[in-house]
Structure 1
Amino acid sequence: MKKLDLSKQEKEVVETALSYWQEADRLSSEKVEELRGTIDEKSFEWKVLARYAFWIALVSLIFAVFSLFADNTLVRFIEGFYETPNIVFCLFFGVVAVVFYFLGFRNKSKYPEKTFSNETLMLAGAFSTAACIGFLGQILDRGTSNYTLCFLLSIVIYAVLSVKLDSKLIWVFTLVALGIWFATETAYRSNWGFKFWGMNYPLRFTIFGFLLTAFAVWGQPRINALRPFQSTSYVIGLLYTMIALWCLSIFGNYSSFDDWSQVRQYHILYWGILAVVLSLALALYGMKTKDNASRDIGFVFFILNLYTRFVEYLWDNINRTIFFLVLAVSFWFVGRWAEKIWRKDDAS
Structure 2
Amino acid sequence: MKKLDLTKQEKEIVEHALDHWQASNLLDVDKVEELKQSIEEKGFEWKTLARYAFWVALVSLIFSVLSLFADDAMVRFVEKFYETPNIVFCLFFAGVAVGFYVLGFRNKEKYPEKTFSNETLMLAGSFATAACIGFLGQVLDRTTSHYTLLFLLSIAIYAVLSVKLHSKLIWVFTLVALGIWFATETAYHSNWGFKFWGMNYPLRFTLFGILLTTFAVWGQKRIHVLQPFQSTSYVVGLLYTMIALWCLSIFGNYSSFDAWTQVRQYHILYWGILAIALSLGLALYGMRTKDNVSRDIGFVFFILNLYTRFVEYLWDNINRTIFFLLLAVSFWFVGRWAEKVWSKGQSSER
Equivalent residues in 2 for 1:43-62, closer than 5 Å: 43-62=43-62
Aligned counterparts of 2:81 and 2:328: Cα–Cα separation in 1: 55
Task: Give the counterpart letter for 1:317 in structure 2.
Answer: N
Residues 1:31 and 2:31 aligned together: yes
Query: 1:190: which partner in 2?
Result: 190
Equivalent residues in 2 for 1:198-347, closer than 5 Å: 198-346=198-346, 347=348
Aligned counterparts of 2:184 and 2:19: Cα–Cα separation in 1: 59
Residues 1:71 and 2:58 aligned together: no
Query: 1:145: which partner in 2?
Result: 145
Task: Give the counterpart letter for 1:254 in structure 2.
Answer: Y
Task: Give the counterpart letter for 2:296 in structure 1.
Answer: D
Query: 1:85: which partner in 2?
Result: 85
How far residue 340 of structure 1 moved from its aligned partner, in angstroms, is 3.1
Aligned counterparts of 2:44 and 2:52: Cα–Cα separation in 1: 14
How far residue 29 of structure 1 moved from its aligned partner, in angstroms, is 3.7
How far residue 226 of structure 1 moved from its aligned partner, in angstroms, is 1.1
How far residue 345 of structure 1 moved from its aligned partner, in angstroms, is 4.3
- What secondary structure is seen at the aligned counterpart in 2 of 1:70? coil
Q: Please report the TM-score for the alignment, with normalisation by the length of structure 2.
A: 0.96
Query: 1:20: which partner in 2?
Result: 20
Deviations for 1:301-348, whole angstroms, at most 9, x for unmatched residues? 111111011111011111111111111111122122223333444554
Aligned counterparts of 2:315 and 2:77: Cα–Cα separation in 1: 52
Do the aligned partners of residues 58 and 342 (structure 1) sit closer, same or farther apart at CA in structure 2, a change above 3 Å counting? farther
How many residue pairs match? The answer is 348
Q: Please report the TM-score for the alignment, with normalisation by the length of structure 1.
A: 0.97
Residues 1:116 and 2:116 aligned together: yes
Aligned counterparts of 2:277 and 2:87: Cα–Cα separation in 1: 51
Aligned counterparts of 1:88 and 1:22: Cα–Cα separation in 2: 68
Aligned counterparts of 1:73 and 1:336: Cα–Cα separation in 2: 59
Deviations for 1:220-260, whole angstroms, at most 9, x for unmatched residues? 11111111111111111111111111111110110111111
Deviations for 1:193-227, whole angstroms, at most 9, x for unmatched residues? 10111111001111111111111111111111111
How far residue 278 of structure 1 moved from its aligned partner, in angstroms, is 0.6
Deviations for 1:91-129, whole angstroms, at most 9, x for unmatched residues? 011011011111111111122111111111111110000
Task: Give the counterpart letter for 2:49 in structure 1.
Answer: L
More displaced 10-residue stretch of structure 1: 129-138 or 338-347: 338-347
How far residue 174 of structure 1 moved from its aligned partner, in angstroms, is 0.4
Aligned counterparts of 2:90 and 2:339: Cα–Cα separation in 1: 52
Deviations for 1:25-81, whole angstroms, at most 9, x for unmatched residues? 444444333332222111111111111111111111111111111111111111111
Aligned counterparts of 1:258 and 1:15: Cα–Cα separation in 2: 60
Query: 1:6: which partner in 2?
Result: 6
Aligned counterparts of 1:327 and 1:288: Cα–Cα separation in 2: 29
Residues 1:99 and 2:116 aligned together: no
Aligned counterparts of 2:323 and 2:80: Cα–Cα separation in 1: 57
Equivalent residues in 2 for 1:123-134, closer than 5 Å: 123-134=123-134
Question: Gaps spanning 5+ residues in structure 2: where?
Answer: none
Aligned counterparts of 1:64 and 1:313: Cα–Cα separation in 2: 44
| Percent of paired sites with the same residue | 82
Aligned counterparts of 2:29 and 2:291: Cα–Cα separation in 1: 36
Query: 1:156: which partner in 2?
Result: 156
Query: 1:168: which partner in 2?
Result: 168
More displaced 10-residue stretch of structure 1: 268-277 or 17-26: 17-26
Task: Give the counterpart letter for 1:269 in structure 2.
Answer: L
Task: Give the counterpart letter for 1:61 in structure 2.
Answer: L
Deviations for 1:249-297, whole angstroms, at most 9, x for unmatched residues? 1101101111110101111111111111011111111111111111111
- What secondary structure is seen at the aligned counterpart in 1 of 2:69? helix
Do the aligned partners of residues 345 and 103 (structure 1) sit closer, same or farther apart at CA in structure 2, a change above 3 Å counting? farther
Do the aligned partners of residues 252 and 118 (structure 1) sit closer, same or farther apart at CA in structure 2, a change above 3 Å counting? same
